[in-house]
Homo-oligomer: A and B are copies of this chain.
């Protein structure tokens, strides 16, 4: 059955959506004059209703705190400035001064109000922003912004840190003869776990909607996408997911019926989950992507706890790296979630092959499971058989390359 949602081929992200412009320029935020794109801009002439989901870390970067305040005022957003190379986190009072200066500089160049602009930053923690370069970058980005596909690609590139490739995904659907578009870009790599660690995601649409409605839709979509992935279990100071709607399509979500709301939510979930998958697949030096499914737990929160214990266990992750069908480590990790697993009811599968059935090892399937765990993508299912709740997440192995890559900045 067709959902009526069309995936846009060769997406350009932000610029796939009517009324949005984008830019990505180089201003040497890393203070190495290598011409790397490091300043992105998203702009809409029409003011956008905007929803944001932010890190729950106690230690929030200046742009996160100021961004939350701006969204709370709900005056509508025209622009988002995004820089990579410096997170402006743990930068004390000066960090706030610098972030405000970025907001003001953006306002001046774009000729908009200070309530109508957001900043998102990612990169190294604890270093002051190189403000001369930053200001140069803002000016260049405002100058460069356009609705061309190339600008969308440049913007998607400018927000990257240790990612190896840009990540874009766009869809469209028809509503009573009018086209509605959603385009998204994301940066991820290391430190991905619940609550969207070191992740920036920007999804824009030409839907018309209140910020409140956008927020409830975004919260739903984030739960089953960006919050259901884990690479190393860390969570950052800067995580931000934004959803902007500029209304250019003429389709009004608040006035629409249930069918329209469902379709928009479906489209938003599709964009979010595809972007989340791209993050996992581009985790730092990973060699395996694992779809982990916990079934028939007593409560959904129990299933989630088990999933996170398994997904974040170093011994489990290293065994995946080694292509070792080490089901014992899976069960051990599931057990220390301490949600009342009964080992004599537990079934464990690699893909659809049983390796552990109701407390007993199915040794005859070991070779098959060894073959599965040596693939780049596979799934693991733990069926607890003690309830009816489930949780699914995407995770990765832990490689020697990850340790080498992260041993210093």
Contacts and interface: CB of A to CB of B under 8 A. Distances in A.
Interface residues of A, number: 66
Interface stretch (A173-181, A241-249, A318-326): A318-326
Interface string A366-409: 00000000000000000000000000000000111011101111
Given A315-B232, A326-B408, A408-B319, A92 B361 contact: yes
Contacts of A406: 314-315, 318-319, 322
Contacts of A237: 331-332, 335
A404 B400 contact: yes
Interface in A32-61: 56-60
A334 interface: yes
B124 A338 contact: no
Tell me whether chain A's interface is mostly helix, strand or loop, or mixed: loop
Contact of A403 (B59, B236, B332, B399): B399
B90 A343 contact: yes
B333 A234 contact: yes
Contact of A339 (B58, B197, B233, B343): B58
B341 A58 contact: yes
Contacts of A408: 319, 322-324, 326
A344 interface: yes
A199 to B, nearest CB: 13
Nearest to A344: B92
B58 A337 contact: yes
Contacts of A107: none
What copy number does this chain have within its complex? Answer: 2
A403 B336 CA distance: 21
Nearest to A341: B58
Q: Which of A319, A360, A403 has its CB near the most chain B CB atoms (within 10 A)? A: A403
Contacts of A398: 314, 403
A223 to B, nearest CB: 18
A72 to B, nearest CB: 20
Contacts of A326: 408-409
A57 B346 CA distance: 15
Nearest to A194: B336
A315 B90 contact: no
A90 B57 contact: no
B328 A90 contact: yes
Given A92-B344, A403-B400, A233 B314 contact: yes
Given A90-B356, A314-B398, A398-B314, A332 B407 contact: no
A247 to B, nearest CB: 36
Contacts of A402: 314, 318, 403
A323 to B, nearest CB: 7
Contacts of A336: 56-58, 195, 197, 234-235
A246 B141 CA distance: 79
B92 A409 contact: no
A313 interface: yes
Interface in A188-219: 190-191, 195, 197
A56 B309 CA distance: 14
A250 interface: no
Given A58-B334, A90-B331, A324-B408, 11 more contacts: A56-B336, A58-B342, A92-B344, A92-B360, A126-B328, A126-B331, A233-B312, A234-B329, A314-B314, A322-B406, A403-B403
26 contacts: A56-B336, A57-B332, A58-B336, A58-B341, A59-B335, A59-B341, A59-B343, A90-B328, A90-B356, A92-B361, A93-B359, A126-B331, A126-B356, A191-B315, A197-B336, A232-B314, A233-B312, A234-B332, A235-B336, A237-B332, A318-B402, A318-B403, A318-B406, A322-B406, A324-B407, A400-B400
